[in-house]
Amino acid sequence: MKTTPILKRLGLCLTALLIVSMLTGCETLAQQRARQEMRQREDMLVVQESSQRVEARIEALEFEIDVLRRELDRVQQDTMRATEIEMDALDGRVNATERKINSLEKARNKDRQDIVDTLSKKMADLMQRSSSSSSSRSGRRSEYGYEHVVKSGETLSEIGTAYGVSVKMIMDENGIKNANMLRAGQVLFIPE
């Protein structure tokens, strides 16, 4: 009966093998779980580290944005100041130009008035001389007025309008019976 101890030994070996294989299998599951947990922890650490780098980068970008905003504000203020200075200078030049224009306008008006006064005086002198010589020759009723030489095609209406006198006054002063009977070269006395 030598087979029984062999069988016993074989049974023991099989049992041992079964136990070892069972133990080995349990270790493998435990090891897999441990490895999986380890990987999860490593992944979590990688995510945390990546998150910290992103946060640090965001902080750096926010700092750069603040620096750029301050620089932009400074540039805007400098630009505003420069613009205000230029506008003030431009206002000064505009005001100086307006003063010059007003001064020139006053001088021009004064010159114009001087010319008008001088011409009026000369015309008055000429008319006075003309009317006194004309009055003495023709015996006209009015002492003041103008002598007018009729041009070809001129009418009493045009002459009266030019001097600001009615046609009737011109006709009465010159003894004209028919207003349509004017001759070129005819001298008319135009009363004032």
What does 64-86 look like in DSSP terms, one character per residue? HHHHHHHHHHHHHHHHHHHHHHH
Which tokens is 137 given? 């020759």
Checking if the pLDDT of 140 tops 80, the result is no
Q: Are the C-beta atoms of 90 and 106 separated by less than 8 Å?
A: no
Q: Are the C-beta atoms of 142 and 190 separated by less than 8 Å?
A: no
Cα(76)–Cα(82) distance, rounded to whole angstroms? 10
- Beta bridge mates, 146: 190
List CB contacts of 168: < 8 A, sequence separation 6 or more.
none
Q: Are the C-beta atoms of 134 and 140 separated by less than 8 Å?
A: yes
Q: Model confidence over 3-21: pLDDT tens digits?
A: 567 777 777 777 776 666 5
**Which one, of 128, 154, 119, lies nearest residue 188 by Cα?**
154
For residue 119, what pLDDT band results from cuts at 50, 70 and 90?
confident
CATH homologous superfamily of 112-191? LysM domain (3.10.350.10)
Question: Per-domain residue ranges for the chain?
Answer: 112-191
Which pLDDT score is estimated for 137? 40
Mean pLDDT of the chain: 84
List CB contacts of 105: < 8 A, sequence separation 6 or more.
none
Q: Are the C-beta atoms of 183 and 148 separated by less than 8 Å?
A: no
Phi-psi category of residue 52: left, alpha or beta, with phi > 0 → left and psi -120 to 50 → alpha: alpha
For residue 116, what pLDDT band results from cuts at 50, 70 and 90?
confident
Q: Are the C-beta atoms of 183 and 150 separated by less than 8 Å?
A: yes
Whole-model pTM over 0.75? no
For residue 138, what pLDDT band results from cuts at 50, 70 and 90?
very low
Q: Model confidence over 25-77: pLDDT tens digits?
A: 555 788 888 889 999 998 898 999 999 999 999 999 999 999 999 999 999 99
